[in-house]
Amino acid sequence: MSAESPLSIRASTQLCAVIGNPVLHSLSPAMHNAAFHAAGLDYAYLAFTVSDLAGCLTGMRALEGFQGLSVTIPHKIAILSYLDEIEESALKIGSVNTVVKKDEKLLGTSTDGAGAFRAIENAGVSLKDASVLFAGTGGAARAVAFALCTSGLPRKIMIVGRSAEKVEALTRDLETVSSSVEVLGGSFSENLLAWAEESDLLINATPLGMHGAAEQENSFPGVGLRADQAVFDMVYRPENTVLVQEAKKQGCKIVPGLDMLLYQAVIQFELWTGACAPEEAMRQALNNALRSRE
């Protein structure tokens, strides 16, 4: 059965879904259904607009064929209160993007950080003794920063953001993870240029560059990139953001934001099914879904 085949749902079909509000834009159904088809699994992945989170999870517990959820805005933090177990890393991050159902118990975790870590490795970027600069302090930034800090590989992690309180909170939380990684927090105005100069990897975890009002903005304004640096822009619509365009001009290594989306979904698939994810089928479906929306 090809990745483009229509869904065939039977009484025996196991279900997974993405929940949030809105979810109509989600690329996850395309990826996961392509993966289920390629793996020959009797699974289907749906998208549900959910405002009543508690009611949704009560229903999930009652439905025997439900195996898992992807969780997106605005439920990634609120869902922590309704789960039976939460992985330690997700507790520290303070958000959950994946739920696995086992014996009517709902287990929460976050695959964002691990997905980003795999994307960085796949791009051939070395984190060992690296100096990493983050722009942003939101959920994605927290997940990726925790994954990098937990690995113990970087020498230094530097965080700049608009909110001094959020920067301070993330810095403080990261300091409890690894004693071998130096963690610094600062602001765009006071620290960005100097910290960018010493960085091996620059990560944009802000919406700047995304389709819409901020599309023509660079998340690292005024920074002169060098060929020996790597750039990871978590924004993937468009793929060639202003930051990525500048990085390509300077010969930097690029970590595609789309790869983070792919690899976090790969990990979800394996958690729900116990099978090895067909990565190429998922990548092709993701690219096709993006092209169809251009």
Active site members = 76
**DSSP one-letter code for 125:** -
Cβ atoms of 21 and 51 within 8 Å: the answer is yes
Task: Output Rg (C-alpha) for the chain, integer angstroms.
Answer: 19
The total of other beta-carbon atoms located within 10 Å of residue 188's CB is: 16
N-to-C CA span, the chain: 26
What is d(CA 43, CA 39) in angstroms, rounded to the nearest whole number?
Answer: 10
| Euclidean distance between CA atoms 252 and 244, whole angstroms | 9
Q: Contact, 123 vs 256, CB < 8 A?
A: yes
For residue 217, what is the DSSP state? -
Total residues belonging to the chain? 294
- 4-36 per-residue burial string, b: 16 or more CB within 10 A, e: under 16: eeeeeeeeeebbbbbbbeebeebbbbbbbbbbb
Conformational region of residue 152, where left means phi above 0, alpha means psi within -120 to 50, and beta covers everything else: left
